[in-house]
Every structure is written in structure tokens, then in C-alpha cells.
Amino acid sequence: MSSSYWTRILLILNLSFVCLLSSATQVDYDANAIIINGERRVIFSGAIHYPRSTPQMWPDLIRKAKDGGLDAIETYIFWNAHEPQRHQYDFSGNLDFIKFFKLVQEAGLYAIIRIGPYVCSEWNYGGFPVWLHNIPGIQLRTNNEIYKNEMQIFTTKIVNMCKEANLFAPQGGPIILAQIENEYGNIMGPYKEAGKSYINWCAQMATSQNIGVPWIMCQQSDAPQPMINTCNGFYCDEFVPNNPKSPKMWTENWTGWFKKWGDKDPHRTPQDVSFAVARFFQAGGVLQNYYMYHGGTNFGRDAGGPFIITSYDYDAPLDEYGNLNQPKWGHLKQLHEAIKLGEKLLTSGNVTTKQFGNGVNLTTYSNTTSGERFCFLSNTNTSQDANVDLQQDGKYFVPAWSVSILHGCNKEVYNTAKVNTETTVMVKKPIELGTKLSWTWAQETIRDTLHGKGSFNAAKLIEQKEATSDVSDYLWYMTSIENMGTSSHNATLYVKSSGQVLHAYVNSKHIGSQFGYDFEFNQPAILRPGKNFLTLLSATVGLQNYGEFFDLGPEGLAGGPVELNVDGMASLNLSSNIWNYKVGLNGEAKRLYDPNSPHPQIWKSSKKLPIGKPMKWYRTSFKIPPGTSPVVVDLQGMGKGHAWVNGNSLGRYWPSQIADTNGCSDTCDYRGEYKPEKCVTNCGNPSQRWYHVPRSFLNDGTNTLILFEEMGGNPSHVSFQTVVAAAV
């Protein structure tokens, strides 16, 4: 090879080194702008949580976010997903957040990292690993040395990973802001002085990480400097940061809402979302983040709550599968373009407001030297439209609850209530598989637990998280009672459960099931002479994620009591009996959800399926036509359980949870303050019938769907469908 070849290579290497150095980005701010490399900016950002989609979906989601006019992508970091067991980390697959941020950067976007590491987010246990809760002496989210130490270790690990990958802006990376904690201000009161000390410590610990970009704290009106406090909500125009030098930032503009099992579908109109955004920038906003821009899916056991459903669609601008949710996506894209026309003036801080009465206001941003102007003309009246005469600047019709953006203050370029993006309706299209799905099934063997066999015991009813460390939804509580007499007795079993699901068996007979947050179970049972077995299976459906001391909320039978009321005798409190415990299902231990599990003989292929019977595994195989349309499995007819395709979890399913039949409407008045109950659809239907099967879970050959059915269902109605756009 010639020496000129090497000279050229060296030159290129050298140049790229210079490029790298010169791409270091300086992030500053003042009250009116985020200042990036000296340029005064307003920033549109959107939340896309990396574990709620797949790495194969990320580039497309990010591209659509960019096309939608976003400057930045925001995500939380999910501690319990990354550290399921203490000091055992997982950053693989859809947990590879470094790759996610690199893709964001490659797309030319900035990033906002919200480390938390408490994140709320309708995520299991708000993102805390349950082993953390089980460390003796720990108290979460307060001034407790053990907790603070663990929080610091995890935060530092994430920060160091970002630094090693050169992800912070001064290193040439995309990250321009970072968040510590999450809405602590909302629940801080009950933690008293310790809460105040804790949030001060959070600020100091975060600052000591030296990341070179500003730190934020959301919903923290007393945020210690230099933390910037930010706002979360449906509207944040009235928010004022606690330091007059801080920019006004909105970390969570809720584009819709989340759902629990049994809920209807919430919708927030594009008119109202854009109204809220326009009002925010009219009132001096600098950065706004959509929560969510893409909601996605709660795969595995990631859904929190309790009772948060598997879909986290959120009615976001990108739907669960990554399709444009139109007209929301397009209407917001136009809004971003319109506001960006005024970026220079908006960030200059030269502003005047004129009131016309009846909720009509004109806000003018201007440059007094050049004479350039940019205006927001808003009408916050909830019912009366306005005709506003701006004299030489023209006459404007401003519908109720809307904002007009006037370029040069004399040309309407956008009105939040005037939607001209076409509506797209996404429909589910059956996939022609040629033949019907054919099923095999397996019994979840429970003989051991029906006979009281566990792996440890205690003379009390242990709280579920403490017993399971949340490695499974399921915990068996088992005890026995001696009936000394010679005859059987009628009895009533009373169980006080702290949630969320209970299945009760006496002497191998299923006597009833119940679910709820906190409930009392009462069912008749027969006590035979001699030894009687009592087996209680408790299941969680996502751990609580919000509220003061939420982490201490008990799950499972947690102290009970459990009582037997035998006819004609005093009630028998069994709470301090010797209880045997077993964590999880035998099928989970045998990995029956994995098509390659070494137990093929377990699967029965009898023609007659055990329809409607609880505690069954079902298995089928299917082929998927080529193409790119998102694939879903329709689990109509199934009860409650968990689904896997080729060993990948699709999440929990519970289509037998039907939304209330009342309160839905096809029309929705965008005017007036939004709340999640305001515009709902899907009354009387399963709150979730279709479950996303990401294309990357599938192969061209034969695929395997495996269901664990806990309550009883009929798999013969299960089918695969694709999601396609339909004409309206």
C-alpha cells in the first residue's frame, strides 16, 4: 500500500477527530431560551420509552418524531428492568438505552434523560426493584442512608455509561438535560423534614455527577438550585419556575391517558393538546415534552398500577404500534412549524399582552430594532367564539378554546381548533392463515400446592413482595387444619387480601376467586374429618407506582386475617398457623412459555380443549405473511393470563375485563379543560382485546404462541391480524 494511501487515511482520521471535538455542544439557558452553542432555542420534545417498543422499531419511531417536528426525544431510565437482581444488570435488547440514544443522535435530535430512578410511569413499582424494598432498614424516597446509597450507585452507573458512550452534549452527544427524582414535590409533605433533606441531597448528588448539562426536577416547587423545576400536567401555561433565571419548561404534556383493566379508552383531542402547547409558548414557555409521543406496550410484567393494562397506547401522536395517530400527529407537526417561525422573537424576551375581554388575549413578541413581530391571539372562553379586529393587522375569527398564531402579527398561520390534517382510522385485518389455529394444551400442575407442599414456611401471612421479591405474579399460601371430630362441617372461609387476585382451594376443591385492590373474600367450604388442606393462590397484576409511601402498600395476604367460621363454633383465626409458601407456577419453573423448553411430552393434543377451565397452558403455531404492517393477536374469548410468542412476552392479557357500558360518545367537545374521563370510547368492550406482536418477535417459518390461562378461556376464537389504515 502506498504511503499516500496512509497519509490520506491519517488525514481522514484526523479530520473526524476534529469533527468530534467541534461537535461538542454547550447547553446554557436563561429565562427565555435554551441556549445551544450560543443559539437561542425553543425545544419540542417527545417521550418514547425504549423498553416499551423494540430496537427494530426505534429508528422508525425516532424518524416519525423528527418528521413530526420534534427537536428532542425524552425517556426515563427503568431501574428494575436494568437491575432485576441486585448487582446483576441487563442492558440487552430493548434495554439497550445507549443504542437508543445513539439512534436519536444519528437522527439529528437531542435527548433528555430522566434517570429518576423513581419514575412512576405506570411502570411496575414505579421503576424500583423489589429487592431494594427488601433490604433490611431501607426506606425509599426519603433521607435514609441505605436507600440513598443504592440510588447513588445506580444513578452513577447510568451517568458513567452515558459518559463512556460520549452521550452528554459537551462530549458531542445528544443529551441536553437530565432529571433526578420525579414529582417528589407532589408527595413530599408526609415525609416532613426528612423529605426536604432528601430532595436537597438529590440535588447535591446529581450536581456532583458533573454531566455538563442542566439538571431538572419536575413538580418540585422548592427545587434546590441549580436544579430547574419543571411542570407536568394537561396545561402548564400558568407555571412559573422558582428561580426567575430558569426557563419555563413542561416535562409532561399528557397527550392522552393510560388505562387500567376494565377502563374505557381515553382520548384527548388534537385541538386541546395543541391549544395547551400554544398557550404555553404564548405564556413564555421554552421547552415542552409530550408524555407520551409514543406510548407503546408494557411487555412482560412491566405494567404497574396495580391493574395497568398491557397496551400503553396513551392516545399518543404515534399509536402503540408506531403508526401515525392522525389527525393528532399532523396537527401538532403544523403547530411546531408555526411556533418555530417565531423562535428568534420568542426567545428574546420582549413581550407585551393586550386583553380584549371575554377570555381573548393578544400576546406580541417583538424586536424593537428590526420591527419584527410574532403574535399569539388566544380565546380561552369555553363556549364563545370571537371575532377580533386587529385594525391594520387584520380581522380574525378565533373559535372558543383556541389560539391563533399570527406570523408577523398579521397573518394567521395556524389555529389550534382548525384541523386540516386528515383523520386516519386504523383497523385490524384478519390474516388468512389457510387453516384454523390448532391447539395443544397442558395442565398447570397444582397437585403439590393443593397438598400444602411449599419451599419455605412461617407462622404468619407474609406480605407478597417480601415473599416473592416479585420474580413472579404468583404466591401460594398453604396451611392445614385438623378436624378432630368424626363428621364433616359446613364452614365459611374468610380471607382479607391486600390485592390483587385470589384463588381459594379447600381440600383440592376450588371454592372461589376474587380480585380487587383490597378485598374480603367469603365462601362456603366443607371441613372433612381429619386433615384439611387450605391453599390460597395470590396473584399481583402490576405493583403500585404512585403516591406517598406507595412502596409500603401491602400486596397479597399480608397479615390477613384468614379465618374459618365453622357453623355453630367460634371463628378460627388461621393467620398465625404455620403457612407453607411457594413462589411462582410449576409451568414458569419448567419454562413452558418457551417453545424450546425440554418438556414436549407435557402438551396434549386432544381435540377437545379444556374450555373455560382455569390454570391451563395453550400452545399453537402460525405463519405470518411478509410485509411491514404491525401484527396483533386477538385474544377475544380468553380470560386472564400471560402471552408469549416464540418465548418473547407480549405481556399480561385480560380481555374478560369489560369496560362499563355507560359514558361513551363518538363525538368529543374539545372546548374546556380536559380530564381523562372526558372523552371516552369502547364502552362495553374488553379494555384490551388485541396484543402487539412486534415483527421482530416473528420469523419467516413457524412461530409459536403460548398462553397461560389463569381464569379460564376459549382459545378457539384467538386469531392473528394486521393493523392497517382504512378510509374514513
| 112 makes contact with ligand GAL (CB under 6 A) | no
Residue 151: phi and psi, rounded to 5, are -65, -40
Q: Which three cell numbers mark 642?
A: 400471560
Query: How many CA atoms lie within 13 Å of 523's alpha carbon, on the beta-carbon side?
Result: 17
Taking the least distance from each CB to ligand GAL, the nearer of 183 and 473 is 183
Does residue 15 contact residue 321 with C-beta atoms inside 8 Å? no
CB of 516 to ligand GAL, least distance (A): 22
According to CB under 6 A, which residues from 454 to 493 bind ligand GAL?
none
Cα distances from 23 to residues 9, 102, 165, 166, in angstroms, run 21, 14, 14, 11
Kindly state whether residue 121 participates in binding ligand GAL, applying the rule CB under 6 A.
yes
Angle at 697 (CA atoms; ends 695, 699), nearest 5 degrees:
80
Please give the C-alpha separations between residue 428 and each of 424, 626, 629, 721, in angstroms, as whole numbers.
13, 16, 10, 6
Q: Which amino acid does the sequence have at 334?
A: Q
> CA 116, CA 78: separation in Å to the nearest integer?
8
Contact code string over 571-600 relative to ligand GAL, x by CB under 6 A: ------------------------------
Phi, psi of 422 (to 5 degrees): -70, 145
- How many CB atoms are closer than 10 A to CB 187? 16
CB of residue 251 to ligand GAL, shortest distance in Å: 8
> How many chain residues interact with ligand GAL (CB under 6 A)?
9
CB of 500 to ligand GAL, least distance (A): 19
Q: Which of 74, 183, 272, 320 binds ligand GAL (CB under 6 A)?
A: 183
Distances (CA, A) of 106 to 109, 165, 599, 712: 7, 14, 45, 48
In the bound state with ligand GAL, the residue whose beta carbon lies nearer, of 122 and 150, is 122
The beta strand positions in 334-472, using DSSP E, are 351-357, 360-366, 373-379, 386-389, 395-398, 402-407, 411-415, 425-430, 439-443, 456-458
Which span (120-128, 161-169, 597-605, 704-712) binds ligand GAL, by CB under 6 A?
120-128
User: Which bin fits 147, alpha (ψ -120 to 50), beta or left (φ > 0)?
Assistant: alpha
Considering only residues 254 to 273 of the shown chain, the ones binding ligand GAL according to CB under 6 A are: 258
3-state secondary structure (DSSP) of residue 376: strand
Binding mask 69-108 for ligand GAL (x = CB under 6 A): ----------------------------------------
Q: What is the closest distance, in whole angstroms, from the C-beta atom of residue 480 to ligand GAL in the complex?
A: 43
Least distance between ligand GAL and beta carbon 232 (Å) = 5
- Per the CB < 8 A criterion, the answer to whether 687 and 261 are in contact is yes
| Cα angle 72-697-316, degrees, rounded to a multiple of 5 | 35
292 vs 562, which CB is nearer to ligand GAL? Answer: 292
Q: How far is the CB of 610 from ligand GAL (least distance, A)?
A: 38
- Name the residue number minimizing CB distance to ligand GAL: 120
CA distances (Å), 255 to each of 109, 275, 276, 425, in order? 21, 12, 10, 18
Residue 120 binds ligand GAL, judged by CB under 6 A: yes
- HSE toward the beta carbon, residue 381, CA cutoff 13 A: 17
For ligand GAL, give the closer residue by CB, 182 or 364.
182
225 to 244: interface string for ligand GAL, x by CB under 6 A: -------x------------
**Partner residues linked to 709 by β-bridges:** 616, 641
Whether 252 is a known active-site residue: answer yes
Q: Give the H/E segment covering residue 563.
A: strand 562-566
Catalytic option among 83, 122, 150, 183 = 183
Considering the complex, state which of residue 64 and residue 114 has its C-beta at the smaller distance from ligand GAL: 114
| Comparison of 232 and 620: residue with beta carbon closer to ligand GAL | 232
Q: Minimum CB separation from ligand GAL for residue 550, in Å?
A: 12
**Residues 70 and 313: beta-carbon distance below 8 Å:** no
Q: Provide the minimum distance between the beta carbon of 295 and ligand GAL in the complex, in angstroms, as a whole number.
A: 9
**Residue of 32, 54, 179, 182 interacting with ligand GAL (CB under 6 A):** 182
Q: How far is the CB of 145 from ligand GAL (least distance, A)?
A: 26
Q: Which grid cell sits at 710?
A: 389463569
**Residue the block writes with cell 400558568:** 238
Least Å from the CB of residue 122 to ligand GAL: 5
Segment contacting ligand GAL (CB under 6 A): 119-127, 454-462, 634-642, 650-658? 119-127
Residue 391's contacts (CB-CB under 8 Å, 6 or more residues apart) are none
Compare residues 72 and 502 and give the one whose CB is closer to ligand GAL. 72
What gap in Å lies between CA 377 and CA 353, rounded to an integer? 10
Task: Choose, by CB under 6 A, the member of 122, 313, 393, 444 that binds ligand GAL.
Answer: 122
**78 vs 101, beta carbon nearer ligand GAL:** 78
Helix H segments across 139-268?
145-164, 184-187, 192-207
219 neighbors 232 (Cβ within 8 angstroms): yes
**β-sheet bridge partners, residue 112:** 74, 177
Task: Name the one range near ligand GAL by CB under 6 A: 118-126, 477-485, 551-559, 703-711.
Answer: 118-126
Shortest Cβ distance from residue 47 to ligand GAL (Å)?
9
Q: Could you say whether residue 323 binds ligand GAL (CB under 6 A)?
A: no
Residue 160 Cβ vs ligand GAL, minimum distance, rounded to whole Å: 24
Only one of the segments 61-69, 114-122, 259-267, 328-336 lies at the binding site for ligand GAL (rule: CB under 6 A); that segment is: 114-122
Of 216 and 562, CB closest to ligand GAL: 216
Span of 10-18, 115-123, 355-363, 564-572 interacting with ligand GAL by CB under 6 A: 115-123
Q: Which amino acid is at 607?
A: K
Q: Which helix (H) or strand (E) holds 254?
A: strand 248-254
Q: Which of 74, 150, 252, 320 is catalytic?
A: 252
Question: How far apart, in whole angstroms, are the C-alpha atoms of residue 109 and residue 293?
Answer: 14
Choose among 191, 283, 47: nearest CA to 547. Answer: 191
Nearer to ligand GAL by Cβ, of 184 and 396: the residue is 184
Asked whether the CA dihedral 568, 574, 576, 578 is positive or negative, the reply is positive
Minimum gap (Å) between residue 438 Cβ and ligand GAL: 41
Q: Which stretch binds ligand GAL (CB under 6 A): 96-104, 116-124, 295-303, 607-615?
A: 116-124
Q: Are 637 and 713 in contact (CB under 8 A)?
A: yes
Distance between CA atoms of residues 464 and 247, nearest Å: 44
Contact (CB, 8 A) for 177 and 169: no
Which one, of 707, 657, 717, lies nearest residue 686 by Cα? Answer: 657
Residue 121 vs 497, nearer CB to ligand GAL: 121
State which residue, 114 or 695, has the beta carbon closest to ligand GAL.
114
Stretch near ligand GAL under the rule CB under 6 A, chosen from 113-121, 204-212, 265-273, 658-666? 113-121
Query: Can you tell me the distance from the alpha carbon of 316 to that of 257, in angstroms, rounded to the nearest whole number?
Result: 9
3-class SS of residue 263: coil
304 versus 713: smaller Cβ distance to ligand GAL = 304
- Quick note: the x/- pattern for ligand GAL over 39-68, rule CB under 6 A, is ------------------------------
- Residues that bind ligand GAL in the complex, under the rule CB under 6 A: 119-122, 182-183, 232, 252, 258
Q: Catalytic residue positions?
A: 183, 252
